[in-house]
Structure 1
Amino acid sequence: MKPRALLFTLYGEYVQYYGGEIWVGSLIQLMKQFGVSESSVRGALLRMVQKDLMKVRKIGNRSYYSFTPQGQSQTEDGVNRVYGERPFEWDNTWRILTYSFPEEKRDLRNEIRKELMWIGFGAISNSTWVSPNPLESQVLEMMERYELHDYMMLFSSSTVLSHSNDWIVNKGWNLDEISREYEKFIEQYSDKFEELQNKALNNTLTDQESFIERTQLVHEYRKFLFKDPGFPAELLPDHWKGTEARELFWKIHQLITIPSVRFFESIFEPAPDREVEIDRDKAINPFDKVQV
């Protein structure tokens, strides 16, 4: 696991439900479970602060880290996409984004491409990206944040005259490849589910192992957010493997979530000058439409 990606996972899965701030020593202990060294943790935190994704408070000789509004927005977006209800009903509207960057801004252009892929846009030409999902607010916020109004325009249309919806989907995304990736996930985690279920039945599943397994599970599943655009049902092929993978993800998550949260709580240390608002129920059950 890369330290920065692991930080997003830990904050999205646990820290945000415990006041959103954590002592660096707790982070070091938590990330140590995944083989991340103390120096790597501190280096990742420094880079996150420099990129205005995280902020730090000093209390005595202790440092406490939390996300900035920008970092929190990225975290919430990821959590909502992992745990939100999918697939959804389409409004028959395509969001169409065009841009033209001067060559001296190619680094910014590359950053924008990464963000567009993250939120679910697909490229149908070098400078034209589309999505069937209601992403207007995210795009407008991105345009405001990066000051892109001189380089980028966002349209929406319910009618495409020259091409079919299937053509657009096949041009912008490789659903066959995404489906194969889901198949690999299903194969790997079907065996993992049986293993964890047997341990739970035999009372040999520890809190520490549950924490590691849940965090790794979410970390792996989050990778699909960079691949799967989260299409509405009307645009998905029959027997979409993403549905089966999501059901398996949910079953494993629910099996190990309570002991994993218990392990987090045994390591977590909040700042002493604040009364932490804890939403333990949400940490245990972040799914929007599912009750524990």
Structure 2
Amino acid sequence: MTAVDHAPLAGAVQPRQLIVTLYGLYARDDGGRLSVAALVRLLAGLGVEEAAVRSSISRLKRRGLLAPDRRDGSAGYVLTPAARQILDDGDARIFGRRRATAADGWVLVVFSVPESEREKRHALRSQLHRLGFGTAAPGVWIAPGHLADEVIDVLRRLGLDGYVQVFRGEHLAFEALSATVGEWWDLDGLRDLYAAFLDRHRPVRARWSRRRTPDGAAAFADYVRLVTDWRRLPYADPGLPPHLLPARWNGVRAAELFAELADLLAEPARVYARELIAGGDTATAGR
């Protein structure tokens, strides 16, 4: 969802990753603000201690994603405009990502950055990688054509458009793309990420299939972890057309599992979270 943390999950989730998810899911309808007390209460339901919550908030503040916002004696933090844009961009990836078709063609980004502006070169590469582009040749990046509008918008917004040319195209001849895409993207590594996601969340589905009565706290904890875990994958995955993917591509099963659990958990999780947020301005808020 963000430029904040796109590293694959391995082991315990970092509290700051959970905080980004909480803001994305529950803060934007309220002006992008959550009180510190509410965050402490929400994260307690995810097994995060108060000290870790406060430390993670400070890190997100230093990175320009949260800004202090005190109201009626309640300490809190509000999303910065940059953070809100990142979350808005991420919604389409996380909840509405579609896989490309052959008719979409390809988008090529060609760039040349002077040695004196190496930081711009690094920023370009980082953004293209984050958007799911693969490297076809030095200075030439490629992605399915349905990502063209997104990359143009992002590069323009970040002031990187002066270094690039963007082209649409189609594959005409020679080596089969089904062989070449494995050189442009690390599909084996992506398959491993999807396998890990399935291993972590299939037991969640099995547990909920046996549950007889709703449990808002459990739905909240499972849903926040689900979204936090998933939100990296739609960026790591370029969304290649199915005919270019390896047989029995597990990304399809992972996407189906995410959609199934999201449909099941989102509403009871939202109700529970709103209750915690509404009761969150307690004595912890002013500390």
Q: Same fold (TM over 0.5)?
A: yes
Q: Which position in structure 2 is the counterpart of 1:192?
A: 204
For residue 86 of structure 1, what is the aligned residue in structure 2? 98
Superposed, 1:132-151 pairs within 5 Å as 132-151=144-163
Q: Give the drift of 1:47.
A: 4.0
The residue type paired with residue 202 of structure 2 is S
Aligned CA distance change for structure 1 residues 189 and 51 (closer, same or farther; 3 Å): closer
**1:69 pairs with 2:81:** yes
**C-alpha distance in 2 between matches for 1:251 and 1:159:** 35
2:129 counterpart residue number: 117
Distance 1:194 1:183 in 2: 17
Shift, 1:227, TM fit = 2.3
How much has 1:102 moved relative to structure 2?
3.8
Distance of 1:163 and 1:118 partners within structure 2:
27
Q: 2:268 aligns with which of 259, 280, 283?
A: 259
Percent identity (aligned): 27
Is 1:21–1:271's contact at 8 Å kept on the other side of the alignment? no
Q: 1:101 to 1:166 in 2, by over 3 A?
A: same
Say whether residues 1:243 and 2:255 are aligned partners. no
More displaced stretch, 255-264 vs 157-166: 157-166
Tell me the secondary structure at the aligned position of residue 70 of structure 2. strand
Which secondary structure does the structure 2 equivalent of 1:34 belong to? coil
- Give the match for residue 218 of structure 2: 209
Pairing partner for 1:154 from 142, 148, 166:
166
| Cα deviation 1:39-87 (Å, max 9, x = unaligned) | 4434443443444433333224323433233222221222221211532
- The residue identity in structure 1 corresponding to 2:159 is E
What is the match of residue 14 of structure 1? 26
Distance 1:77 1:231, change over 3 A: farther
Mark the CA change 1:125 to 1:28 in structure 2 (over 3 Å): closer, same or farther: farther
Residues 14-48 of structure 1, C-alpha deviation per residue, up to 9 Å, x if partnerless?
A: 22244432222211221233344444434443443
- Closer, same or farther: CA 233–130 of 1 in aligned 2, 3 Å: same
Q: 3-state DSSP class of the match of 1:220?
A: helix
- In 2 relative to 1, CA 259–149 (structure 1 residues): closer, same or farther, beyond 3 Å? closer
Structure 1: gaps (5+ residues): 273-292
Counterpart secondary structure, 1:66: strand
Q: Deviations over 1:192-215 (max 9, x none)?
A: 2112221x22x3x53212211111
Is it true that 1:24 corresponds to 2:33 in the alignment? Answer: no
The question of whether the paired residues in 2 share the 8 Å contact of 1:89 and 1:232 is answered with yes
Query: Structure 1-normalised TM-score?
Result: 0.78
Q: Which has the larger displacement, 75-84 or 35-44?
A: 35-44
Structure 2 length as normaliser, TM-score? Answer: 0.79
Aligned in 2, Cα 1:168/1:56: closer, same or farther, shift over 3 Å? farther
- Cα RMSD between the aligned structures? 2.9
SS of the residue 1:91 aligns to: helix
Contact 1:124 1:168 in 2 (8 A): no
- 2:10 paired residue number: none
| Residue 235 of structure 1, CA deviation | 3.1
Equivalent position amino acid for 2:184 in 1: G
Higher mean alpha-carbon deviation, 151-160 vs 116-125, is at 151-160
Q: What's the secondary structure of 2:239's corresponding residue?
A: coil
Corresponding residue pairs, total: 269
The superposition leaves residues 211-243 of structure 1 with CA deviations (integer Å, 9 ceiling, x where unpaired) of: 111111111122313421122334334432111
Q: CA deviation at 1:131?
A: 0.4
Deviations 1:2-25 (A, max 9, x none): 233222211222222444322222
